[in-house]
Amino acid sequence: MPFSTADPNAYVSLALQSALGTPNTTPAKYRFAKYAAGNNVNDIIAAVDIREGGDGLDFGQTYQARTTVEGQLSFNIRPEIAGQVFQLLPGAATWTGGSAPALHRFHSNHASHPWATLQVAYPGTSLVRLIRDVRFLSLGLQFRTGQPLMVNANFRGIAAGASTGIALVPSYPAGDPFFVYHSLPTILIGGVEDDTVEEIRIDMQLGSEDLQAQSPTLDDIVILNRDTNVTLTRRFENTTLYKQIYYGGAVQPTSAIATTAISAYWALGSLNLKVDLPLVSLRGNSLPDLDPDGRTVRETITGKSLSNPSGALSISLSNLHASAYG
């Protein structure tokens, strides 16, 4: 029987691990993401082909040198499930102890990224994979006018199996709507509110090294560094920021790199999301080509978020999850 990629029995769930080599086996700890287009999970085999004397013109032997699991989670940002991913990246999850709503904070001012376990049913429930020792290696946040706020997170897992002893029943919290760009936004650039911003993209990448010794599976995935970049598009209405980036606010080129802070906030009643980049070094401001047919001039501003006591990326999430994530 053929399967549909939209089979209602398919699901993506994830849970926090306590340590490397200790997959989470507690069903209550798993949360389910209403996945969007762009989700994928791929078992990867690195095969080595050998040709020796006597094999003729063809390869005579092959063996498996390495196996991993790689993929991407992509979904609209909802107050509940978003925290399950944010505890992994940027990490450093804290809960203030409050409830109705509960405030959770995540930031990147640390060097300890936790492990996760994923359980993915697809196609349908014909193939249920338990993926253990998962590192999330990138976090992409996309905020665009007229659309739901979205998160994309790429991961690599050390091992997976096509069966699992963890019986999960997919469930999605009631009253957990996704944020939309026009969900009462407040966007600040340099501490000044800007209502002309049409899109913000934040991309955090973790530099890592795969460690492998005496097994086809990895021993560890070590996090070595972090790089966070931002792209912001808005209507061009004055030259202030352009001159700040290229001319130090004046009319002549300067050797100094302009910096600013970017903050974005959305609210769904008492539920809210706040994303902060406290110190952004501005790298460019591109304008569209001149066009004799005429179109609105927009500026695309790019920058790199730098180290800060609050974290190069800081996220606050207010939801109905009145307990610590984990």
Q: pLDDT (tens digit, 9 = 90+) per residue, 115-136?
A: 999 999 999 889 999 999 999 9
The mean pLDDT of 152-161, rounded to a whole number, is 94
Asked if pLDDT for residue 253 goes beyond 80, the answer is no
CA distance 257 to 283: 8
Q: What is the sign, positive or negative, of the torsion defined by CA atoms of 316, 266, 325, 320?
A: positive
Which of 52-61, 124-133, 252-261, 273-282 is predicted least confidently? 252-261
- Residue 250 reports pLDDT greater than 90: no
Examine the pLDDT at 175 and tell me if it is beyond 80: no
Task: Give residue 2's pLDDT.
Answer: 87
pLDDT value at residue 145 = 98
Residue identified by tokens 């110190």 is 279
What whole-number distance in Å separates Cα of residue 28 and Cα of residue 48? Answer: 41
Band the pLDDT of 278: cuts 50, 70, 90.
Answer: very high
Residue 193: which of 221, 234, 250, 161 has the closest Cα?
234
pLDDT value at 50 more than 90: yes
Question: Is the pLDDT assigned to residue 166 strictly greater than 90?
Answer: no
What pLDDT does residue 165 have?
A: 77
pTM: 0.94
Range 199-221 average pLDDT? 97
pLDDT at 41: 94
Secondary structure E strands in the chain? 11-16, 31-32, 40-50, 61-76, 94-95, 102-107, 116-121, 128-144, 150-161, 186-189, 192-193, 197-211, 220-235, 259-268, 271-286, 298-305, 314-319
